[in-house]
């Protein structure tokens, strides 16, 4: 009897540590992959500039093209389908959501670089050396068991236009 | 008989409790390593100086995985854009390494026992290179 109780305790402990371990892995992997995908997306979006303005020496983003490039990068790097939902068997379980986007460039009024970019409500505070795109994305953290964290993680990317 | 059965089960679970977390840790470290190595490589590859996965970048990936994460050279496979790609076009890369065993007793909980033999990660990003 004593032995059976001990065994049950050991099994429960094992299940708990295994699910804890799984959660740790899922959480760090989601954070990493989301950040990498955002970096790639920010990079691609920052390349979408107006060629005519560039000829005049100004770097001005084209927001619709930049947004499209950002979404395409998320789709490629997070294994999403065309409609933004994750593929079967991939890491994420629900579609990532772009909650904030902003463009700071040479046409933004009152901006002189270096420029301190602050969005207090979104916890963004960054000194920009040049024109940059800003995106914030939220995604539901995949859950592995009933005790997993049930909520969203937020990631921000501030990517400056890559000069030559 | 009863005692023998209990004894066998105890040993079974004790082994799991002792060694299973280590297997998971090894697997997750390897999976994270592949992802990070590929990410830093594609950032270098998309740089204006490169515009593709140059042989140096591929070598660096291999040497990081071999020397830091102690993988065998024959277990690493990389597929990616190796032609010079102009600014605004996509370069992509897939890095796969051999997967480590994830479960000590695969069939204990009735799983089919089929695990993917590779840890494979994919990244795609635009190039910055100016092609004249």
- Say whether residue B32 is in contact with chain A using an 8 A CB cutoff: yes
| Residues across chain A | 164
Residue of A nearest to B18 (CA): A14
Query: Per residue in A27-83, pLDDT tens?
Result: 999 999 999 999 999 999 999 988 888 888 889 999 999 999 999 999 999 989 888
Task: Identify the pLDDT of residue B113.
Answer: 60
**The whole model's pTM is what?**
0.87
| CA B30/CA B22 separation, integer angstroms | 12
**Contact (CB<8Å) A40/B87:** no
**Contact (CB<8Å) B25/A21:** yes
Is the pLDDT confidence value at B107 over 70?
A: no
Domains: count for chain A: 1
Task: Identify the pLDDT of residue A102.
Answer: 92
Residue of B nearest to A25 (CA): B28
Nearest residue to A132 via CA among A102, A111, A156: A102
* Placement of tokens 């204990």 in the chain: B108
Query: Per residue in B24-50, pLDDT tens?
Result: 889 999 999 999 999 999 999 998 888
**Which chain B residues are within 8 Å of A133, Cβ to Cβ?**
none
Task: Identify the pLDDT of residue B93.
Answer: 93
Domain ranges of chain B: 2-126
Instruction: Quote the ipTM score.
Output: 0.85
Band of residue A164 on the pLDDT scale cut at 50, 70, 90: low
Is the pLDDT confidence value at A11 over 90?
A: no
**Contact (CB<8Å) B21/A28:** no
**Which chain B residues are within 8 Å of A79, Cβ to Cβ?**
122
d(CA B73, nearest CA chain A) in Å: 24
Query: Per residue in A85-119, pLDDT tens?
Result: 888 888 888 999 999 999 998 888 888 888 899 98
């Amino acid at each position: 009897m004593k032995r059976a109780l001990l065994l049950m305790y050991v099994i429960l402990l094992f299940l708990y540590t295994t699910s804890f371990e799984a959660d740790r892995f899922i959480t760090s992997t989601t954070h990493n992959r989301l950040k990498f995908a955002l970096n790639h997306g920010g990079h691609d979006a920052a390349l979408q500039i107006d060629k005519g303005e560039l000829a005049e020496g100004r770097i001005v983003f084209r927001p619709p093209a930049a947004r499209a490039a950002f979404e395409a990068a998320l789709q490629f790097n997070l294994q999403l389908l065309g409609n933004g939902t994750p593929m079967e068997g991939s890491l994420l379980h629900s579609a990532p959501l772009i909650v904030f986007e902003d463009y700071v460039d040479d046409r933004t009024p009152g901006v002189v670089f270096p420029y301190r970019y602050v969005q207090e409500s979104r916890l963004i505070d960054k000194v920009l050396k040049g024109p940059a795109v800003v995106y914030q994305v939220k995604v539901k953290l995949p859950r592995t068991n009933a005790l997993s964290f049930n909520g969203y993680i937020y990631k921000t990317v501030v990517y400056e236009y890559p000069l030559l | 008989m009863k005692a023998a059965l209990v004894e066998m089960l105890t040993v079974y679970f004790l082994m799991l409790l002792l060694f299973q977390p280590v297997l998971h840790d090894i697997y997750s470290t390897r999976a994270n390593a592949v992802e990070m190595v590929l990410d830093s490589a594609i950032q270098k590859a998309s740089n204006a100086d490169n515009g593709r996965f140059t042989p140096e970048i591929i070598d660096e990936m291999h040497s990081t995985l071999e020397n830091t994460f102690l993988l065998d050279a024959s277990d690493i496979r990389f597929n990616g854009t190796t032609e010079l790609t102009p600014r605004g076009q996509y370069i992509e890369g897939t890095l796969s390494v051999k997967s480590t065993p994830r479960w000590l007793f695969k069939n204990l909980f009735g799983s089919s026992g089929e695990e993917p033999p590779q840890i494979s990660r994919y990244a795609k990003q635009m190039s910055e290179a100016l092609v004249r």
